[in-house]
Structure 1
Amino acid sequence: MSRSKHWTSILDPGTQRLLSRVPSSTHDEIQTAVHAAETAQDAWAARGFQSRREYLLDWIDVLREMTPDIVACLCREVGKTLADANTEVFRGLDCIHAACSIGTEMAGMYLGSDPTILQTFYEPVGVCVTIAPFSYPFMIPLWSLPYALITGNTVILKPSEKAPSLSTLLADAVIRTGFPPGIFNILHGDRTTVRTLVPNPSVQAISFVGSETAAREVHDLARTAGKRIQAECGGKNHGVVLDDASMMPTLYAIAGSAFGATGQRCMALSVAIFVGGTREWIPKLVDLAQSMVVGMGGDEDTKLGPLINRAAKERVVGVIDRAVDEGAMVLLDGRDVSVPRYPEGNFVGPTILMGVETYMECYQMEIFGPVLICMQVDTLDEAIDLINQNRYGNGCSIFTTSGKQAKTFQRRVNVGQIGINIPLIAPYGPAVRTSNKDSFLGDRHAPGKTYWPFFTTVKTVSARWDQ
C-alpha cells in the first residue's frame, strides 16, 4: 500500500460510480522502484537473448488467458466498446510477438578475414521508463516494454492516472509468468511523479505517448538530463476524398475512424477534405454518423462509449461551442446526446462541423473527441496544400480508385504515415510508426522491429592476436 497523501478517485465514465483510488507515488517509492530496477538489470541482461525471449513468449500466453479480464477492465474504466477492447488486446499481443521476432539483428557484426578482428556488440542501456496515456492503456505500453525487456533492460511503467487499473493486470501477468523480481515496476501519479522519475540518474531511456503539451515537457526534461527520449504526441489527421472513390465504403471508413473509440485516439481521422463533387456526399455521412449508437462500452450495440472523464467532456463541448462562436456550422450536434439509464455519463455523440477555417481553434488543436471537420476544395492540389500547411504529421489518408492519384498524394504530402483507401489507425507490431513534424519528438520512432536499438548501446571491438 502506498504511503502517499495524494490520491485520485477513478470514476466509471458512464455512471460516475467510484471504481478505485490511485496514489501519486511518493519520492521514496520512486527511489525504491528505480533501485529495484537498477539492481535487477545486470542479472536480467546476463540471462541472454534466448532466455529473455522465452519469458516474453510465456507472458503472451498468460496475457491471452487473461483477455476476458483485460477487456472488462478496458470497457469499465476507459469506456471502450467490446470490439475496440478486443482489438486492443490483439494489437498489444502482436507487439510482444514482434519484439520476440528480433534476433539476428542483435547479433552484431563480425569481420574476421583480416588479421585484425572487428566485432560489434549491442548492450542494454539499463533502466527504461514508459509513460503511457489513458487511451490505450494495454496496447501502448506494449509498444516499448517488450523491446526494452528483450534487449536486457529493466522497466518502469508510469500509466495514466486516468486509467491505472490495466497496469495492475500487466503486473499480475508478469508475476504469473515468473519474471524475476525488479524486472517490471509500476509507479502511479501525475506530472509530479514524472518530474521526479525522468531526471533520476539511473534512468537511461524514456518512451512517451500522450498530449503535445505533456510530450514537450517530458522531452525537454529528458534532454536537459541527458536521457534518450522518444515522444509520440498530438495529431490532426486529414482524409482526402476524390470523385472516383467508392462512396459508401469511404463514408463508412471516415465515420468509423472519426467516431470510433469516441475520437480518443491519436490516429482518429478528424478532418475530411471533400474534393470537387464529393461534397454532395456529406449529407449521407451525417446520416451514417447519426445512426451510430452511443452507450456503455460493454453493450453489444454500442459504437461510441463515454469520454474518459467529466473534464474531457467539458473540454470537447467547449471546443464545439467556440467553433460555433467563430462561425462554424454544426451539421450534426452530439453535445446533448442522451443515453437512457446513464444520465450522468460523459457522453458526447458524433459531431460534424462545416464552414471551418484553418485559423479556428477546432482546426488548430487535437480535440480528442468524436468531432469531425468537413472541408471542401476543388482539386487534389488544394487538399495536399492544406495538409502540408498543418503543423501535425501523424497521419493522413486518401480515398480513390486511381493509382496515379494515390501515388501523387503519397509522394507530395509531408506526413509520416499515409493510408490509401483506409483511415490509418495504427500499424501492426512489426511496423514502425513514422509520424513527423509536431507529432513526434525525440531520437527514434516506436514501435516496430527497427525500434530495439533505442534501448541499446553499441560497442565496437577491434582485436589482433599475433601467433
Structure 2
Amino acid sequence: MSETLGHWVHGAAWDGTSTRTAPVYNPALGTVQKQVRLASTADVDAAVTATAAAWPAWRDASIAKRTTVLFAFRELLNARKEELAAILTAEHGKVLSDALGEIARGLEVVDVACGVGHLLKGTYSENASTDVDVYTLRQPVGVVGVISPFNFPAMVPMWFFPIALAAGNAVVLKPSEKDPTASIWLAELLREAGLPDGVFTVVNGDKEAVDALLVHPDIRSVSFVGSTPIAQYIYTTAAGAGKRVQALGGAKNHMLVLPDADLDLAADAAVNAGFGSAGERCMAVSVVLAVESIADELVAKITERMATLRTGDGTRGCDMGPLITREHRDKVAGYLDIAASDGADVVVDGRGVEVDGAADGFWLGPTLIDRVPLESAVYRDEIFGPVLSVVRVPGYEEGVGIINASVYGNGTAIFTNDGGAARRFQREVEVGMVGINVPIPVPVAYHSFGGWKASLFGDAKAYGPAGFAFFTREKAVTSRWLDPSHGGLNLGFPQNA
C-alpha cells in the first residue's frame, strides 16, 4: 500500500475529511510512488479558519521575533538542501543540480525577507502643521493564499511565503498535486525554526480546493504562478471576490541573436535556457530569432551542443530529466508532427532519444525545429517542454517586431556585442524582464519578478519591493501631542524583544 500524503494544519499533519486522492508519480520511472489527498471545500474552510485564528498573535509578534524565525529557517534549509533536492528530483524529475539551483534561488528571497526591519520602515514628516506630525505605517494584510505550479515546487512558494511571513501575515499554500511533498517538508522546517503553529498551512488539492481558496472570506490576497488561461481565471475570480491578486501567467520567450554576437556564447545560452529542467520553466527560451546571415552557423552550433546532452534519471548525473507526466510528454511530442505538417524543419527529434533511465519514464529528448512559421502552433503556443524553435529574421527591427507582437511579455534576451543595439533593445522591447547576453533574466530577489501583457494579471509582481508592498497595507497617521509623558528611570541597555 503506497503512502498517502495529507495536509499541514496548525503545525501538524492532517488528513481532512475528503477521501479523494490523486497519484504522485516518479517521472523518471513512470510509476506511482504515493497518493495525495485532495481537499474538499469543507477541508479548505477548516484549514483557513485555523490559520485565521493563529494569525493575530503572529501579526503582533515583534519584527525581531519574526526575523529570528526566518534566520533559523534559512540556516536549516541551507544545511538540509540536498534532502529537499532529492524530493524535487523524485517528484518533478529535474536533475539534482537543477533542483539545488532552484533551492538556492528560493533562499535568495529568504535572505531578503530577513531584512524586513529595514524594508517595512515607514516615513515621517515632523511638524507638517504646527505641532502636527504625519507618518506612515506598513501593516500585514492578514491570511494570504499562495497557489504554486508543478515546475518549481520549492522556489515558487519561496517567492511568496518568506516575505508574507516576515510582514506579519499567515499563509495558506496550495501546491501542485503533481509534486506536493516539498511543501509539507518546508512546513515541517518552518515549525522546527520556531514558527508558531497555525501560521503556515498547506492544503493539497485540485480545482475544488483552488476555487474554495479564491472566494474564502478570510483569505485577503491570492498569489499564483501558472499558465495564462488559469492565471486569468484566478485573477478574475479572486479579484471579483474583493481580494488582492498577483497572478503570473505563461510565456513564449524570445532570444534575438544579431550578426555581431558571439555565436558560441549564444549557442551555449540557447541550449542551457531551452532544455534546462526539460523546458518546464516559464523563463525558458523557446524561440531563437536568428538573423538570416548567421542563422545556418548558429543552428549548426546549437545542434552540435545538443548532441552532447545526456537525458535520463536526475539522480544519475544526467543533463536533462523527464517531463512531469506521461500526458504532458505526449502533448509536447505532438508538436513535432505539427511542425512537420506546417513546413518547419525538425533538425533534432527528441522522440528517439536514448535515455539513461527506466523505459517507462516520461522521456522526450531535446528537440530543435528550424524555420518555424509564425502561423504555426509550434510558434504560437506555450509548449512547456524541451522544444527549441528557430525563426529566421532579416534583421533587428523585424526581430523586435515579432517579440512585441506576441501576446506574452514575460522574458526576452538579446545577444550582441553592440552596446547601442542592446540599449535600444531594452528600451523598445515590450517585455517585463530583459536579458542582454543573459538568456534567463530572472531578477535577483531584491528586485521584482513579473512580465507584461498576458504574462501578468494585476499590477503586483513577485518578491522584492513589489512583494513587500503586496503583502502589506499602508496606513497614514496624523498626530498631535500637547504634552510629553514621563517614562520613568531605567539605566539598563535597551534591547529588542
Where on the TM-score scale, by shorter chain, does this alignment land: which range? Answer: over 0.9
What's the counterpart of residue 7 of structure 2? Answer: none
**Cα distance 1:434–1:195, how it changes in 2: closer, same or farther (>3 A)?**
closer
Q: Does 1:417 align with 2:417?
A: no
**Cα distance 1:295–1:340, how it changes in 2: closer, same or farther (>3 A)?**
closer
Provide, for residues 348-406 of structure 1, a one-character-per-residue CA deviation record: whole Å limited to 9, x for no partner: 11111122121211111110000011011121111111111111100110111111111
Q: Does 1:33 align with 2:50?
A: no
Q: Does 1:308 align with 2:321?
A: no
Instruction: Report the CA distance between 1:340 and its aligned residue.
Output: 4.8
What's the counterpart of residue 370 of structure 1? Answer: 386
Instruction: Report the CA distance between 1:107 and its aligned residue.
Output: 2.2
Instruction: Report the CA distance between 1:55 and its aligned residue.
Output: 0.6
The 5 Å alignment of 1:263-278 reads: 263-278=279-294
Describe the SS at the equivalent of 2:350: coil
**Cα distance 1:341–1:400, how it changes in 2: closer, same or farther (>3 A)?**
closer
Describe the SS at the equivalent of 2:314: coil
Q: Which amino acid aligns with 2:52?
A: E
Moved more, 26-35 or 87-96: 26-35
Provide, for residues 406-461 of structure 1, a one-character-per-residue CA deviation record: whole Å limited to 9, x for no partner: 11111111111110111025222212113111100013101113420111112112
Give, in whole Å, the separation in 2 of the partners of 1:265 and 1:97: 23
The 5 Å alignment of 1:9-408 reads: 9-113=23-127, 114=129, 115-281=131-297, 282-300=299-317, 302-408=318-424
Describe the SS at the equivalent of 1:460: strand
Instruction: Report the CA distance between 1:466 and its aligned residue.
Output: 4.1
Instruction: Report the CA distance between 1:323 and its aligned residue.
Output: 2.2
Give, in whole Å, the separation in 1 of the partners of 2:224 and 2:290: 34
Give, in whole Å, the separation in 2 of the partners of 1:244 and 1:439: 30
Q: Which amino acid aligns with 1:403?
A: G
Describe the SS at the equivalent of 2:361: coil
Give, in whole Å, the separation in 1 of the partners of 2:451 and 2:118: 27
* Greater Rg over alpha carbons, structure: 2
Q: Contact 1:125–1:457 (CA<8 Å) still a contact in 2?
A: yes
Give, in whole Å, the separation in 2 of the partners of 1:341 and 1:63: 29
Instruction: Report the CA distance between 1:2 and its aligned residue.
Output: 3.5
Q: Does 1:441 align with 2:451?
A: no
Give, in whole Å, the separation in 1 of the partners of 2:254 and 2:415: 11
Q: Which amino acid aligns with 1:160?
A: S
Give, in whole Å, the separation in 1 of the partners of 2:339 and 2:438: 28
Instruction: Report the CA distance between 1:337 and its aligned residue.
Output: 2.0
Give, in whole Å, the separation in 1 of the partners of 2:59 and 2:257: 50
Give, in whole Å, the separation in 1 of the partners of 2:371 and 2:296: 15
TM-score by structure 1 length? Answer: 0.97
Give, in whole Å, the separation in 2 of the partners of 1:349 and 1:153: 43
Provide, for residues 199-239 of structure 1, a one-character-per-residue CA deviation record: whole Å limited to 9, x for no partner: 00000011100111211111111011010000111000000
Structure 2: tracts of 5 or more residues without a match: 1-14, 484-497
Q: Which amino acid aligns with 2:120?
A: M
Moved more, 435-444 or 315-324: 315-324
State the identity %: 36
What's the counterpart of residue 4 of structure 2? Answer: none
Q: Contact 1:290–1:350 (CA<8 Å) still a contact in 2?
A: no
Structure 1: tracts of 5 or more residues without a match: none
Give, in whole Å, the separation in 1 of the partners of 2:273 and 2:357: 27
Give, in whole Å, the separation in 2 of the partners of 1:379 and 1:341: 42
Q: Which amino acid aligns with 2:80?
A: M
Q: Contact 2:313–2:357 (CA<8 Å) still a contact in 1?
A: no
TM-score by structure 2 length? Answer: 0.91
Q: Contact 1:102–1:449 (CA<8 Å) still a contact in 2?
A: no
Describe the SS at the equivalent of 2:224: strand
